[in-house]
Amino acid sequence: MKKIYAYPLLGLSCFVSGAFVAKLADDKITVDVLRNAQQMIGLQFTDAQLDSATTSVEEFRSSYKRIREQPLPNEVAPALQFNPVPVGFTFEQKREKFEVERRKGIKLPANKEELAFYSVPQLAELLRTRQISSEELTKFFLNRLKEHGPTLQCVTSLTEELALEQARKADQEIKAGRYKGMLHGMPYGVKDLLATKRYKTTWGSVPYRDQQLNLDATVVERLEQAGAVLVAKLTLGELAMGDVWYGGKTRSPWDINKGSSGSSAGSAAAVAAGLLPFAIGTETLGSIVSPSTACGTTGLRPTFGRVSRHGAMALSWSMDKIGPIARSAEDCAIVFNAIHGPDGKDLTVVDAPFNYNKNINPKKLRVGYLHKDFDREYPFKENDKATLEALRKAGIELVPIELPNLPARDLTMTISVEGAAAFDELTRSGRDSMMVQQHKNAWPNVFRAGRFVTAVEYLQAQRVRSLIIQQMHEKLKGIDVYISPSYAGSNLVMTNLSGHPCVVMPNGFQKNGMPTTITFMGQLYGEANVLALAKLYQDLTSHDEQRPPMALSTTK
């Protein structure tokens, strides 16, 4: 008979295999139970003090049972909302016209395969001038997805029927003179944690692979309103971790023997391979930055509370963010302009202006850089030094800055706790045993461990997070944008906790031929400035124009 570890404080007992979870109803809370339990929280009370607590703890456990009887689907958020705005911070109130320079004189290439790597403005001009129809362009990208998607393992569902309907509608509107803008008729894909009415929303995970949600996520609705054409649901590592999903492992087009990292694995791989002009990804702790690095794409992680998460799988209500992955910062700006802003459903979203236009002079921005992080030894140092030098040569003065000295990495328990709550039913039902990944650091074990973080310690961590928010505000006074290595140092963790936006973009290659990236950070709600500086850098260099070596011609 298998040994059972009992956790009566949680009302759970778990077999060693983790394959089954059963409720404990009758175990009495005793001094011995509490004496053992307090070891987890690093405190020591007297037996008399523990005895006085037993009745209250029994009552808490009874409350847990009644609360668990209340259905709580993933989309129900806690009543507490994270606010990234520090004391003394204000954002722009004036709203300026969004403006991207139209690409004049763009002609349909003789070799239509070149369209796979055209920018959004280039494709938009071809669509606007009706040199190519949306239906033709949609079929072109559908063919590429059908041919190369299986190799990259980057697609969960092709939305072909819907795509052709939307494309034909776009063609009719454009022909009738009702042109909506640069996304009108433009094919795209979404990470398959965003709900779509007509197609499954699998969250990349075995227990949900047949899940059908009867709604469209706000991001999907807004892109449809802009005239964009949804052609594919794209892979993510199970429940937004890594690049392993129920159908396999998503690959980088730069080396199909390597994974595309995660968790926006399919979004980055598809864009990098020229299977889509752009895609939607999400980030909680690196899920746009990491696959953009593995695949050589440009990704925008917006400020927390910029884009509605209605219809998106919740992993961490206080850290989840949605943003575009594309080939350039300008492409990201065009997509972000269509998806940001309140919808009345995600109450964390702030109605702040996005004033991206050609009047921004990046050379007048005050630009910082994390000098200590760039000075340390790390794998991509030479490429990052070259980035800083290119900006200096362009007339950008780089001011050395430092981040707060606070234990940011310790606060990543936030994801464990919030994720454990978001997937409470999965854990208690034992269906987590169906997931592909079952190693020590995989979600099933992370969610179990998250249940042992006490509410007091979770709230203490959030109080330290408040210090991070306030001290970030102080450190960034007088700075519009700052530059960080994508991985060296604490920036990735710190700013995912503080809610600051970033643009990650390619800046060279490793010796093994895989891409490297660098990260430009903005002030809260300062996406316009960080995208403008990123565009300047991409105009100075050709890193964003590189194409992966795998055979990418379409034969269908």
CATH of residue 245's domain is 3.90.1300.10
Mean pLDDT of 97-122: 96
Catalytic residue ranges: 191, 263, 287
**Per-residue model confidence (pLDDT) at position 2:** 39
Q: pTM surpassing 0.85?
A: yes
Mean pLDDT of 162-184: 98
Looking up tokens 């269509």 gives 338
Phi, psi of 142 (to 5 degrees): -60, -40
Mean pLDDT of 9-28: 52
Is 8 inside a domain boundary?
A: no
Q: Is there a contact between 195 and 201 (Cβ–Cβ < 8 Å)? A: yes
- CB-CB neighbours of 458 under 10 Å: 16
Of 5, 25, 27, which Cα lies nearest the Cα of 15?
5
Number of domains comprising the chain: 1
- CB-CB neighbours of 16 under 10 Å: 9
Taking 70 as the threshold, does the pLDDT of residue 23 lie above it?
no
Strand pairing partners for 15? Answer: 4
Taking 60 as the threshold, does the pLDDT of residue 7 lie above it?
no
Is 364 inside a domain boundary?
A: yes
Is 202 inside a domain boundary?
A: yes
As a whole number of angstroms, the longest Cα–Cα distance in the chain is: 85
Please give the order of strands across the beta sheet that includes 21-23.
4-7, 12-15, 21-23
Of 352, 149, 138, which Cα lies nearest the Cα of 253?
149
Is 150 inside a domain boundary?
A: yes
Taking 90 as the threshold, does the pLDDT of residue 459 lie above it?
yes
Q: Are strands 12-15 and 21-23 parallel, antiparallel or unpaired?
A: antiparallel
Is 293 inside a domain boundary?
A: yes
Mention every residue, 6+ apart, whose C-beta is less than 8 A from residue 66: none
- CA-CA distance, 180 to 221, in Å (whole number)? 15
- CA-CA distance, 287 to 265, in Å (whole number)? 8
- CA-CA distance, 62 to 79, in Å (whole number)? 21
Mention every residue, 6+ apart, whose C-beta is less than 8 A from residue 120: 182, 183, 186, 277, 278, 326, 328, 330, 331, 334, 335
Mean pLDDT of 308-336: 98
Rounded to 10°, the helix 160-175/120-128 angle is 60
Amino acid occupying residue 221: E
Output the CA–CA distances (angstroms, integers) from residue 496 to 236, 275, 295, 308, 521, in the order listed: 19, 29, 21, 17, 11
- CA-CA distance, 308 to 204, in Å (whole number)? 21
**Per-residue model confidence (pLDDT) at position 113:** 96
Mean pLDDT of 91-99: 94
Q: Is there a contact between 529 and 500 (Cβ–Cβ < 8 Å)? A: no
Amino acid occupying residue 452: F
Is 452 inside a domain boundary?
A: no
Bond before 490 cis per omega within 30 degrees? no
- CA-CA distance, 285 to 262, in Å (whole number)? 10
Rounded to 10°, the helix 455-475/413-422 angle is 130
Instruction: Identify the burial level of 58 via C-beta atoms within 10 angstroms of its C-beta, where 0-12 means exposed, 13-18 middle and 19 or more buried.
Output: middle
pLDDT tens figures, 67-81: 999 999 999 999 999
pLDDT tens figures, 355-407: 999 889 999 999 999 999 999 999 999 999 999 999 999 999 999 999 999 99
**Per-residue model confidence (pLDDT) at position 12:** 57
Taking 70 as the threshold, does the pLDDT of residue 9 lie above it?
no
Of 296, 291, 294, 293, which Cα lies nearest the Cα of 274?
296
Provide the domain limits for residue 283: 115-344+359-407+462-545
Structure tokens of 227?
């005239």
Is 426 inside a domain boundary?
A: no
